[in-house]
Structure 1
């Protein structure tokens, strides 16, 4: 059984993991979604997943669950009249759902079982901690890369390292366990 882990973003990290094999055999890489807007990037990611599945199909796909809420924050913008405080959102957060939806559509069209895994879940499983005070986005990424290096898993960057964590946590997911039970 082969698990494909996906850390979906404009640069999507992926990891091919075969449970039971040496962790150093995990193959990783990156998919760069091209385009000038979220829809074009989603189409690009979809086309690249189709090309990937022509060469090799996973038995299961574990995907980092995109945030389910869009957090707004205050931002100060300088105008000719002086600073103006405005409420805004991170546009990348909106784009992640489009990219994830595109990936899930391709995966489902190939009838490959899949599951989304929250970041706190895969981090706890892979790194030993799900949420840690003082950890920011950069610290989590460094921790994933360091863990891969410790396990002798070759990764190009943190996106690929996080995909490794997602793939390994995918093995512990309920959907994967149920799929294995049906296959047995």
Structure 2
């Protein structure tokens, strides 16, 4: 069983078996503090991976810290940029990521981290596809899907499946490897 995780306070998770999506949903961690949210996430994520026999996991890489966007705040100079993401958001995203990969490691689940543009390119054909584009495509696989988080998780597990298939393919020069 393969799993794709769009890790956030509301995390998308998709499970794939035999090339088919068998689950796609979202989980909102409960709690007011980071500790409560992390505990809620850990309970859900560990049980889900264990109970479904997940063998491989792909986790979306968290936002990078050097994001620059046009500054539209009052008093900003024309052309000025800033990072629109708060440090609290970064800390939570990287904390959830740390818990996810630790849980996978503790359960002997092979895992990879995948950049957003990489999985979007493999899933939609466009590394800059929007959440709406991803949801539209995911609905072709899971009709009636409403969650953008679950849709992104489908894209992530789709990417993981491709990575694993490519790793199993013969490499150039392997055809007669060992023959002499």
TM-score > 0.5 by shorter chain: yes
Task: State the number of aligned residues.
Answer: 162
Structure 2 residue ranges without an equivalent (≥5): 170-180
User: What is the distance in 1 between the residues matched to 2:52 and 2:61?
Assistant: 23
CA RMSD of aligned residues (A): 2.6
TM superposition shift of 1:71: 3.4
8 Å CA contact 2:14–2:24 kept in 1: the answer is: yes
Moved over 3 A (4+): 70-77
CA distance in 1, matches of 2:33, 2:58: 25
Query: Of 139, 142, 156, which residue of structure 1 is paired with 2:132?
Result: 142
Look up the match of 1:59.
Answer: 55
Q: 1:40 to 1:71 in 2, by over 3 A?
A: farther
Q: Is the 8 A contact 1:145 1:158 kept in 2?
A: yes
Q: Normalization by structure 1: what TM-score? A: 0.75
Which structure 1 residue ranges, 5 or more long, are not aligned? 78-82, 133-139
* 1:67 alignment partner, SS class: coil
TM-score of the pair, normalised by structure 2: 0.77
Partner of 1:137: none
